[in-house]
Structure 1
Amino acid sequence: MKRSSVWILVLAGCPSRPTEPPPDQRVTVVQSAQSVQLAVIGDFGAAGEAEADVAALVHSWTPDFVVTTGDNNYPDGAAETIDANIGQYYHDYIAPYSGSYGAGAKHNRFFPALGNHDWRASDLKPHSDYFALPGNERYYAVSWGPVDVFVVDSDAHEPDGVDAASKQAQWLKAELAAADGPWKLVFMHHPPFSSGDHGSEEALQWPYHEWGATAVIAGHDHHYERLEIDGQLYLVNGLGGYPKRYEIHAPLPGSAVRFNEDWGAMRIYADLQGIRFEFVARSGKVVDSFERKREG
């Protein structure tokens, strides 16, 4: 598939944006960038002290963009809470932004996955009205320099399905095959593997490694975890600010790092030669840091 460079500003600013564009639409930003830094937050949208602290940490990094692992708008995904839960802390990454907390970004740099709390607004209208995202806005792809980001909707309400044979999964398989960057990151809410309270979502245990994913990053369980299972890197990142942190149970085989003592966020730095993942607590403590080098 030939990919063209499309600035998000153009997509977001179109006054006649179609309500249901094709789900294979992708956005490419700064295609010539040789390196990129992104932040990852999950289970964050509760408008409290923990979220404010994590947002301050994220802003201190000045990342190029932010990706979420869902549950952006507690408790019910409502229009009445979305700006206080998201825009209050991240408005300067959102475009177009029409909330009440200051100026938005020149082009969109905030890419949320949907969580079960976001889906409590069953028509997703508060979410779709607030954001201007690629494709059908539930699942989509974004390329930024050496990183290809694939945001998946893992919720059972997803009309295109969530098992490995679903329309959505086949979209991901095709997009991963078409992406030519060295680093392919898949984001979703429900974790395929987790040692936390909710545990593993068997329906989402797709053959990501076979399809070419570098990492699968999820939330839902309110802890941090790094796992490697059947050659695939999995990360759970659900400490973005919801007041309750979850217990960690008996570690799954392949679980290398687990943490639930404080809130925090992930920082990912990538260039053409390697990619580094970190989880940093709101205190600034680096809980986990590791790298992958490009093969060949």
Structure 2
Amino acid sequence: MVQGNKLANLVVCAVSCTTTLLASMPVAATTIAVIGDFGDVGAPLNDVSELVYSWNPDAVLTVGDNDYENNYALSVVPYYDTFISATCSQNRFYPTYGNHDWKGRNGYDETFPCVTDYYKFTQGDVEFFTINSDDMSNAQFDWLEDNVRSSTALWKVVYLHHSPFSSGRHGSNRETQLDYAKWGVDVVLSGHDHSYERIQHEGVYYFVNGLGGRSPYNFENCCVVGSEFRYNQDNGAMRIDVEGDSMRVRFIDRNYETIDDVTLTKQNDTPPESGSNELIKGQARLISGQSNSSLDYYFELPNGASNLRVSLSGGSGDADLYVKYNQQPTVNDYDCRPWKGGNNEVCDSLSAQAGSWYIMVNGYRDFEDVVLSVDWD
């Protein structure tokens, strides 16, 4: 069953505050296949592996639960042996632990001698980092933060099994909700729930991808904040194509049908001039202010836009969001005021009228490094 902001034939969705959706992109310099929850011998596993082989990817990474047969020689090797090598300079298969991998028993360590509980690898312009979310430790968290922060890669991707955010059966995992945005992570990949979901949170894209071989789950915790697209109709895999400052992410089912297709682009890191108060779709603004003072912004909504969303997130302190159509809001006159403590405030039930929209961010207390964004379909 396909679900989304609009249920009718939703295939391509608008992107978040740090990315831009493009109609197309050139042939990618790097192709990565992503599979999850796949190690269950049967037609879906076979079909998905043939799909992956058809892409001729530079590497295959997994988001855990690589084996349900208690034997990797049955569930993994026959399907992905071309990518697996004991010669680490030639290895192109990068798994992470899931709860069904039983901490390396049943042949995991012997099948994948080039990987450990937590490690990183680089492919083209992307550096990938993984930790063992089935047996987490402070040492892993410290390693992840240090290595992501110090990375000079253009793109930074974290992958692990238990999903930080998910609308599926297992739902969101608080232990894996780390400071990815603050560290500079662009994308977080996970599995555990046997579904596909695209979520945007604090400028980071989260993808749940657990349809590699096992039967799909229903969305029993629908829907988490920031969920932009959900799918659980059939098995498939993610394909990530990267060339320079563009990263195209697709979910393709085992019938070779593209279900979701979104392109992320790197934005100019130079912050907007302090005198500019126009907000641009898909470009986050980092703001700070003082108690009992306000910051004013505006944006132009084009004809035909829908699903308008204005949000505050992250940072410290307490900022209040006010939004109004066609004139500047005040503390007593507004179209949307979420009335929440802290900085995680969203206006997503607006009328989406074309024209000028105005935003006021008022400091209930001093606030710092809060993300302000506006987006629409």
Which category describes the TM-score, using the shorter chain as reference length?
0.7 to 0.9
SS in 2 for 1:256: strand
Give 1:54 deviation, angstroms.
Answer: 0.4
Query: Which of the residues 75, 80, 85 maps onto 2:75?
Result: 85
- In 2: Cα distance, 1:268 partner to 1:71 partner: 20
Q: Does 1:179 align with 2:151?
A: yes
- In 1: Cα distance, 2:105 partner to 2:158 partner: 22
Query: Which of the residues 105, 113, 122 maps onto 1:124?
Result: 105
TM alignment of 1:114-193, pairs within 5 A: 114-119=97-102, 122=103, 124=105, 126-134=107-115, 137-155=116-134, 157-158=135-136, 161=137, 166-193=138-165
Query: Which of the residues 29, 44, 66 maps onto 1:50?
Result: 44
Task: State TM-score, norm by structure 2.
Answer: 0.61
Match of 1:248 in 2: 219
SS in 2 for 1:284: coil
Query: Which of the residues 106, 111, 117 maps onto 2:94?
Result: 111
Give 1:188 deviation, angstroms.
Answer: 0.4
Q: Which one is further off, 167-176 or 125-134?
A: 125-134
User: What residue identity is the alignment partner of 1:93?
Assistant: F
Map Cα deviations across residues 195-247 of structure 1 (whole Å, 9 max, x no partner). 000000011100101111111000000000000012221010000001x2100
User: What residue identity is the alignment partner of 1:234?
Assistant: Y
Give 1:106 deviation, angstroms.
Answer: 7.8
TM alignment of 1:60-79, pairs within 5 A: 60-75=54-69, 78=70
Residues 84/230 of structure 1: CA separation in 2 closer, same or farther (3 Å cut): same
- In 2: Cα distance, 1:245 partner to 1:237 partner: 11
**What CA RMSD, in Å, does the superposition of the two structures yield over aligned residues?**
1.6
User: What residue identity is the alignment partner of 1:254?
Assistant: G
Give 1:124 deviation, angstroms.
Answer: 3.5
Match of 1:101 in 2: none
Q: Identity percentage over the alignment?
A: 39
Map Cα deviations across residues 59-100 of structure 1 (whole Å, 9 max, x no partner). 00000010000000114xx3xx21110011000000028xxx
Residues 84/246 of structure 1: CA separation in 2 closer, same or farther (3 Å cut): same
Structure with the larger helix share: 1
- In 1: Cα distance, 2:105 partner to 2:30 partner: 30
**Residues 72 and 106, structure 2, Cα contact 8 Å, conserved in 1:** no
Give 1:133 deviation, angstroms.
Answer: 2.0
- In 1: Cα distance, 2:139 partner to 2:86 partner: 29
User: What residue identity is the alignment partner of 1:256?
Assistant: E
Match of 1:226 in 2: 198
SS in 2 for 1:124: helix
SS in 1 for 2:76: helix
- In 2: Cα distance, 1:56 partner to 1:152 partner: 28
- In 2: Cα distance, 1:51 partner to 1:131 partner: 19
- In 1: Cα distance, 2:168 partner to 2:190 partner: 12
Match of 2:271 in 1: none
Match of 1:14 in 2: none
Give 1:186 deviation, angstroms.
Answer: 0.6
Query: Which of the residues 37, 40, 60 maps onto 2:34?
Result: 40
Match of 1:285 in 2: 257
- In 1: Cα distance, 2:104 partner to 2:38 partner: 21
Which structure has the greater CA radius of gyration? 2
Q: Which runs of 5+ in 2 are unaligned?
A: 1-27, 269-377
Match of 2:86 in 1: 96
Structure with the larger strand share: 2
Q: Which runs of 5+ in 1 are unaligned?
A: 1-33, 98-104
- In 1: Cα distance, 2:174 partner to 2:129 partner: 20
Match of 2:53 in 1: 59
- In 2: Cα distance, 1:175 partner to 1:277 partner: 24
Moved over 4 A (4+): none
Query: Which of the residues 252, 270, 276 maps onto 2:248?
Result: 276
